[in-house]
Copies of this chain bind each other. A is one copy, B any other.
């Protein structure tokens, strides 16, 4: 298993007229925590992207339990529980203090710069799989 924690501070730009964070913005926060999770195991999303290998989102799911407000400092736990293959599933939990605000997951494939599915780069996938032996 791979997991990591990221802190996010809710921007005014991310709130909506219900005075809470707009639900669509959680997916950008999931992305921030995903990038930091890969950092934490020595893998750089940016390098992967610069090499023309991308990880588009195939599927997302999220449950919103309690709202986040402007300036709340949130903790996002990202976690890979299953050994990655041609797809990777990443799970997320968002907390404000002890309260869980949201949980969700994203599923990703590997594609090249033309959007064609490719095998994940060996160095990348081997690094990830070390955590599942």
Contacts and interface: CB of A to CB of B under 8 A. Distances in A.
A18 B61 CA distance: 21
Interface in A84-119: 115
A73 to B, nearest CB: 11
A17 interface: yes
A24 B30 CA distance: 10
A107 B61 CA distance: 12
Given A18-B115, A49-B17, A115-B67, A31 B56 contact: no
10 contacts: A12-B45, A14-B28, A16-B17, A17-B20, A17-B69, A19-B19, A20-B115, A57-B64, A59-B64, A60-B61
